[in-house]
Structure 1
Amino acid sequence: MKSNRSILYTLLCLLFLSPVAMASEPDIDEIVNKANLAAYYAGEDGRAEVTMTITDNQKRKRLRQFIILRKDKKDGGEQFFYVYFKKPSDVRKMVFMVHKHLDRDDDRWLYLPALDLVKRIAAADKRTSFVGSNYLYEDVSGRGINEDTHELVKTDDQYYVLKNVPKDPDSVEFSSYTVWIDKKTFLPMKTEYIDKNGQKYRIVEVLETQQIDGHPTVTISKATDLAGGNATTAVFQAIKYDINLKGEIFSERYLRRPPREIRR
């Protein structure tokens, strides 16, 4: 009997220490790719209504309300984004559009209805404030995963923790950023940015998620400027996926004439 127990114990040890068992955790590239897909590629396309509340360091609040449309060419590939502003009156009918690329800088346009002007946003401006909020233009469509090197620095029961360093440090204001990725959903739940002096200066965090059309989805997030003492909360509502958006919506001619999908 003791001999049988000894054999069973040995077999169990071999099983749980085998390369197959040890390989159950994904490698760094798989984590990064899955997180990118979870954050930006749910469904083939999507629509959401967003309310941003911008709170300054004196607790004064401003609102931004807009509708965002997204269409993917393929998972992990090129994408199109169309953002139509509804409120307040000084930004009403303004449109921000992105054509996201993998092999070159993204194309970004901003339509200013008061001037009837279409403005191209330079690549150098992608990390500037998005309509006066604590989110950046780059946050809307996401940072390219090939722009940084990635290191898995910690894992626990809930998160993969990744340190990310820009390959072109002169193109950004940060020296690195750390991301906490949920192990079940692969959604990035918190991102902390470190400046060139080694100080933490910015946090983007998820406050609420929901399962929508089978996709884990961020419904409330918050971006905080630690140095300035101000923050922006974004609430996502009326979220829909796989609504068969047409590619022509994401063209310059629709900057001045919003598509019917905005009015639904």
Structure 2
Amino acid sequence: MKFSHRFSSLLLASVCMMSTPPLLAQGVEPQATSANNATPSVDEIVHRTNHVSYFQGKDGRAQVQMVITDDQGRSRQRSFTILRRDRSDSEAVTDHAYLGEQQLYVYFNRPADVNKMVFMVHKKRQADDDRWLYLPALDLVKRIAASDKRTSFVGSDYFYEDVSGRSVEEDTHELLRTTDNYYVLRHTPKDPDSVEFAYYDMYVHKQSFIPVQVEFFDKNNSKYRVSRALKVDDIDGYPTVTEASMENLNTGSKTLMRYSQVRYNIGLPDDVFTERYLRTPPRQYLR
């Protein structure tokens, strides 16, 4: 799938409007899903969206610049590299590689207080993900409990689960409506006591299956968190979000993430994602 510069600009303009759901300008045609352009099933929308968000290519790498801004306008920055590899057993699952297990390795460069810190994830199909955090100042490897997956990721408005991805099996899914450019989905947790939200609504772009906006609602039915895809580029044939934000409407804090030097299918070996490399980073893949 190829995206023009015009497509990326339209997407950026649409999601910057923001108190209302995003609307793309006319001229971007929805992708056909069958011979008669029928609306795909809810299951297909959910899994294609998950695939585009987390599973494109067999592996990948990106540099990330994160800016965290509080309600007083004060900013902090983080700089890190993300490595991602799908497990080999998922490679045989052709059109449904999103069902496979996955490994993530996040290496922090700046600022000094997080330099050499590592966050690693082993995503699993039928069990809680394994998450580790290496704290170089203490030379300590810390396991992140499943109950902590919805807590702040390095002081940002993103949660650990936002970075690694939430399993589609943890929620029920409902197609609320369709518009000219979007499928609007509602996701409700199967175990409501395990999360802080009551449900979240997702605006999925029909052509790319990118979740352009995600709105989280609390138990009082109040919207309190909003995730937005601000810029999309075509990289190696994959529609890729290269700028995104997360806003906490309760605190007024906002986090912006910009992705650069994105590459897919670079041949990452399995052993990069082991505890050995928490203390000894694989620098040849981080440059």
TM (normalized to structure 1)? 0.91
Equivalent position of 1:36 in the other structure: 50
Structure with max Cα Rg: 1
User: Comparing 40-49 with 253-262, which one deviates more in the overlay?
Assistant: 253-262
- Aligned residues of 1:67 and 1:262 also touching (Cα < 8 A): no
SS of corresponding position for 1:32 = helix
Amino acid at match of 2:53: A
Q: Distance in 2 between matches of 1:182 and 1:140?
A: 20
SS of corresponding position for 2:271 = helix
The structural deviation recorded for 1:23 is 6.6
Q: Distance in 2 between matches of 1:201 and 1:214?
A: 35
Q: Structure 1: which 5+ residue stretches go unaligned?
A: 1-19
Q: Distance in 1 between matches of 2:118 and 2:269?
A: 17
- Aligned residues of 2:81 and 2:286 also touching (Cα < 8 A): no
Q: Distance in 2 between matches of 1:171 and 1:263?
A: 34
Higher RCO (Cα < 8 Å, 6 or more apart): 2
Tell me the C-alpha RMSD between the 2 structures: 1.1
The structural deviation recorded for 1:66 is 0.2
Equivalent position of 2:79 in the other structure: 65
SS of corresponding position for 2:198 = strand
Q: Distance in 2 between matches of 1:263 and 1:101?
A: 24
Q: Distance in 2 between matches of 1:21 and 1:88?
A: 52
User: Among 92, 102, 106, which residue is 1:83 paired with?
Assistant: 106
- Aligned residues of 2:61 and 2:263 also touching (Cα < 8 A): yes
The structural deviation recorded for 1:141 is 1.1
Q: Distance in 1 between matches of 2:177 and 2:59?
A: 33
User: Comparing 175-184 with 254-263, which one deviates more in the overlay?
Assistant: 254-263
Equivalent position of 1:197 in the other structure: 220
The structural deviation recorded for 1:197 is 1.0
**Segments ≥4 residues shifted beyond 3 Å:** 20-23
Q: How does 1:102-181 map to 2 (within 5 A)?
A: 102-181=125-204
Residues 118-147 of structure 1 deviation map (CA, whole Å, 9 limit, x = unaligned)? 000000000000000000000111000010
The question of 1:221 aligning with 2:221 is answered no
Between structures 1 and 2, the one with greater strand share: 1
- Aligned residues of 2:46 and 2:168 also touching (Cα < 8 A): yes
Residues paired across the two proteins, number: 245
Amino acid at match of 2:186: K
- Aligned residues of 1:134 and 1:232 also touching (Cα < 8 A): yes
SS of corresponding position for 2:137 = coil
The structural deviation recorded for 1:22 is 6.0
SS of corresponding position for 1:174 = coil
Q: Distance in 2 between matches of 1:23 and 1:104?
A: 36
